Amino acid sequence: MSALRTPDTDHDHRVREKKEKDTHEDTTTLVPVNDTSDSDTDTVATLPLPRPQVPVLPHYTSLPIPSNHPNATTTTQHALFATHPIKRGTRLIHEPPLLTLPHPGTQTASLLPAFHALPPSSQSLIWSLPASPACTSPSLTALSSLIDPLITAIHPLTTKPPSQWTPSDHTLYATTAPTLIPAITAYRLTARWHTARFSLTDLPEHERAELPEGTQVTGLFPETARLRHSCVPNCFAAYDAVSNHMTVHATHDIPQGGELTLSALPDAYYTSATQRAASLAQKFGITCACEACTPSHPRFPAHEAAREVAHSHAVSLAAFFDNDAHATLDQLVQAENRILRLIRALREAGCEGPEVVRWRGALVERVQPGIAGMTGG
């Protein structure tokens, strides 16, 4: 199963982005707080603009992860947990970036000066974030290759006080420390940047290089970065370019004491547990033990089946939308049925976020108008 993109075309995205900018409103509301509709065709994407502002209700706190937590890990010691029952649609976080970088968004040379320009309190926020292992990034691998031999060379100096250093020891320190200390700082910072950064644009990677020089494409949002990954997330994060803020909404009701989670994988609802495990290990060096990734969980088979169905329908619909301008009535009706079945499969997989909204939008904006035009409905 390959990564998929819903029929939210670049043109559609730019039109929607322009509308949002014209209204100067934050339009990141996912669903009304009191929305309990199970319809497969209604969509908040069709609400008129400007949309009402949504209050920020930070009903959560950072707590140590209990050792008996079903998704406990040795790499992250803290997570965000609900301090009150949280209703679906609640906006939980609304924060500006602490750091941003231009394309390609991974360059350590730009990251270090930006970090050193921050006040100590902001630097401390970054140091408190979890770090990625070296194997997840070429930059980290290169820094590790530089640091490891230097540490090996200088290690004998740590076994005795400086007063006992020989002239050759002082020479070794003088020639090694100026390279080693900044390299360690760069490694620690890059490891946190790699795991905590968010994209500031929906543009595909090959189009980002065409942006005007200096356009910021990646940012670090420290509060949002504290949400851990789940393949059945209960929150969704979205960057609003107008306000330059990241917003996080609950996509499910979250009980008091429940952990707030995001998905780090854009195609999580279309891939198997095996594929997701490989992606998480390669990109972030983490494992997931949510119900969709644990074979012993009662709902594991349902997740696998639903995601396979969602993938199958999404592949067929992607081919349809490549040429839907010339679709026949039968093809449009078939696409309508596929979208409805796809939405049901996504919901079976636990998806109640924008992925469902995008497919609903494709249904009401591109498929159903075509059917109505051919049937006079």
**Do 113 and 162 sit in the same domain of this protein?**
yes
Do the domain assignments include residue 306? yes
What pLDDT score was predicted for residue 49? 56
297 pLDDT exceeds 60? yes
Single out the residue in 266, 287, 315 at which a domain terminates: 266
Kindly state whether residues 140 and 181 are assigned to the same domain: yes
Taking the C-alpha atoms of residue 3 and residue 79, their distance in angstroms, rounded to an integer, is 28
The pTM for the full model equals: 0.78
Interval 263-277: pLDDT, tens: 999 899 999 999 999
How would residue 377 be classed by pLDDT, with cut points 50, 70 and 90? low
238-249 confidence digits (pLDDT tens): 999 899 999 999
Mean per-residue pLDDT for 206-215?
Answer: 79
Same domain membership, residue 231 and residue 110: yes
Average pLDDT over residues 322-337: 93
HEC string for the chain:
CCCCCCCCCHHHHHHHHHHHHHHCCCCCCCCCCCCCCCCCCCCHHHCCCCCCCCCECCCEEEEECCCCCCCCCCCCCEEEEECCCECCCCEEEEECCCEEEECCCCCHHHHHHHHHCCCHHHHHHHHCCCCCCHHHCHHHHHHHHHHHHHHHHHHHHHHCCHHHCCHHHHHHHHHHHHHHHHHHHHHHHHHHHHHHEEECCCCCHHHHCCCCCCCEEEEECCCHHHCEECCCCCEEEEEECCCCEEEEEECCCECCCCECEECCCCCHHHCCHHHHHHHHHHHHCCCCCCCCCCCCCCCHHHHHHHHHHHHHHHHHHHHHHCCHHHCCHHHHHHHHHHHHHHHHHHHHCCCCCHHHHHHHHHHHHHHHHHHHHHHCC
Among 266, 281, 313, give the residue marking a domain's end. Answer: 266
Q: Residue 103 pLDDT more than 50?
A: yes
For residues 233 and 88, membership in a common domain is answered with yes
Same domain, 141 and 262: yes
Mean pLDDT in residue range 170-179: 94
On the question of pLDDT at 33 being above 60, the answer is no
**Residue 333 is part of which domain span?**
299-375
Mean pLDDT within 308-327: 94
Residue with tokens 């706190």: 61
Residue 26, domain member (yes or no): no
Residue 372 in this model has a pLDDT that exceeds 90: yes
In 3D, which of 317, 329, 326, 311 has the Cα closest to residue 361? 317
Identity of the highest mean pLDDT range in 17-21, 29-33, 173-177, 214-218: 173-177
What was the pLDDT predicted at 205? 73
280 domain residue, yes or no: no
Which pLDDT does position 31 carry in this prediction?
33
pLDDT at 137: 85
Quick one: pLDDT band at residue 76, thresholds 50, 70, 90?
A: low
Least confident range from 31-45, 85-99, 209-223, 262-276: namely: 31-45
Confidence class of residue 215 from pLDDT cuts 50, 70 and 90?
confident
Are residues 83 and 180 part of one domain?
Answer: yes
* 315 in a structural domain: yes
Quick check: is 70 in a domain? no
Q: Is residue 349 part of a domain?
A: yes
Instruction: Judge if 163 and 233 occupy the same domain.
Output: yes
pLDDT of the residue at 50:
58
Identify whether residues 221 and 89 lie together within a single domain.
yes
Q: What's the confidence (pLDDT) of residue 53?
A: 66
The verdict on residue 109 lying in a domain is yes
Together in a domain, 202 and 305: no
Q: Number of folded domains in the chain?
A: 2
Whether residue 349 is found in the same domain as residue 222 = no
Q: Are residues 255 and 305 in the same domain?
A: no
- Band (35; pLDDT cuts 50, 70, 90): very low
183 and 326 in a single domain? The answer is no
Question: Which has the minimum average pLDDT: 31-35, 191-195, 308-312?
Answer: 31-35
Give 72's pLDDT tier (boundaries 50, 70, 90): low
- Cβ count near 129 (within 10 Å): 17
| Residue 142: alpha-carbon gap to chain centroid | 25
Model pLDDT, residue 73? 58
Q: How confident is the model at residue 109 (pLDDT cuts 50, 70, 90)?
A: confident
Q: Is residue 219 one of the residues assigned to a domain?
A: yes
Which residues have a Cβ under 8 Å from the Cβ of 256 and sit 6 or more positions away?
82, 83, 84, 85
Predicted local distance difference test score (pLDDT) of residue 38? 46
